[in-house]
Amino acid sequence: MHNLDGKVALVTGGTRGIGRGIAEAFLSAGASVAINGRSAEKGAATIREWSAGDRAFYVAGDVTQKVEVEAMVDATLAQFGRIDILVNNAGGSTGFAPIHELSEAAWQEASAWILDSCFWATRRVLPDMLQRQWGRIINVSSVEGSQASKKNVSHYITFKHAMNGFTKAAAFEYGDQGITVNAISPGAVETDLMMAQGPAAAESMGLTYEAFKDGYAQESAIKRLNTVDEVAGLALFLVGEQAGGITGAILPVDGGTGL
Active site residues: 156
Give the separation between CA 257 and CA 4, rounded to whole angstroms.
31
Give the separation between CA 212 and CA 206, rounded to whole angstroms.
9
CA 124 to chain centre: 17
3-state secondary structure of 84: coil
Angle, in degrees to the nearest 10, between helices 17-28 and 40-50 = 30
Q: How many helices (H) and strands (E) does the chain have?
A: 9, 7
Give the separation between CA 144 and CA 98, rounded to whole angstroms.
16
Kindly report the backbone phi and psi dihedral angles of residue 57, in degrees, each rounded to the nearest multiple of 5, phi listed first: -145, 135
3-state secondary structure of 138: strand
3-state secondary structure of 139: strand
For 52: left if phi > 0, alpha if psi spans -120 to 50, otherwise beta; the answer is alpha
Closest to 155 in 3D by CA, of 97, 201, 206:
97
Closest to 186 in 3D by CA, of 123, 138, 153:
138
